[in-house]
Structure 1
Amino acid sequence: MRLLHIEASPDPASVTRRLSNAFVEQLKALQPDIGVTLRDLVAEPPPLLDAGWVKADLAQPHERDAAMQAAIAPSEAYIEDLYEHDSYLFSMPMHNFTVPANFKTWIDHVLRAGRTFRYGPGGVEGLLEGKRTLIVTARGGYYLSADPASDFQVPYMKKVMRFIGVTDVAFVHAEGTRMGAAERQGAIAEAQSQLAELARAWAQSRPAAEPMRGLG
């Protein structure tokens, strides 16, 4: 297994970091030959898209000069991460009902026509089929049952993953982490239990075949 682990919490002691790191350690114990790549979007924030990035994205690879190549380089690196790993672990708190800003910027870099999706006769076709994703979140309040209409994080991530061809998507949420000490510990314990079960399932299975690569 080749696992891409992306961390997006600005809090070094966050619930999501604690949970995702525990999940990785469980996987390593169950499958010692696992390869894990950690990308911390706080330690190394993805650059915001600018005019230079757009110009480079619209150009064909052979048309890019040195400045355009430099502008598009982070995007290319993030996309290569997606192709080179068969499993993804995205770890993030809910920020203002959706994903953190750094993770949204990462998404802006990796959703690129011709690289992670293409336009076909039937519409958009994702190019990363056969991958699997686990998304670990933490929420200060309760959204799954109490206020699902305000949860834009889950539907957004489902859409993003489907758009690039990833349909095997699992979520583990720690909810109510700011509703009191007992609620926080209960949420963490429940999430840990779910993650332990997922670690066993992932260690016993393999993702599907290698996807088609987009143009570099």
Structure 2
Amino acid sequence: MTAVPGLATETRTFEQLVQRARTLAVPGQRHILGLTGAPGAGKSTVAEQLVDELGPELAVLVPMDGFHLANRVLADLGRRERKGAHDTFDDDGYANLLERIHSQTSDAVIYAPEFRRDLEEPIGSSIAVAADVPLIVTEGNYLLLDHGAWPRARRCVDEVWFLAPGEDVRHDRLIRRHESYGKSPDEARTWALGSDEQNALLIAATAHNADAVIELI
């Protein structure tokens, strides 16, 4: 069972995804490819591998996670325990950046933030985006959300793929991820099947707006 039962799912190999991404990496043009899906769907891994396969002259990765609100801000807002929910991101900042990247024509470099898992904090101006790189790959949970500034971000993205692995696979990945960042097995499972799962239900409801729902083999 996938995260989006009832929707037609394309079964693809990684090599097929590379070929599909390569059609967007046209020198002299600018395209943005988005990867989305529920927590644990494999977005970050697939995005990183796609960019590595295409190489720095053709692609650069600009993740949505760079727009996590800082922990101090989340604490002030009373949202620290819901970190990862749609309202714990700077969606306006993300949309503004994608708009700049989408229309980038000058030789000036645009700098994007990244999220440091070891710090659990975003770090600004960490990723350089040169104007002559034809494909920008972005990944994140809420690319297809229909409120806030998320639709502005979506309008900048040429194609969005919704990754939909089996639920058991996704949950196992999430639990192992939380454990790798210091949570106990019980804490990891509670977070994965609690806060993460609430976010997953919201994200799954947006899958019908994707250009393709993909199960990677």
TM bracket (short chain)? 0.3 to 0.5
Report the structure number with the largest CA radius of gyration: 1
Q: TM-score, normalised by structure 2?
A: 0.33
Q: TM-score, normalised by structure 1?
A: 0.33
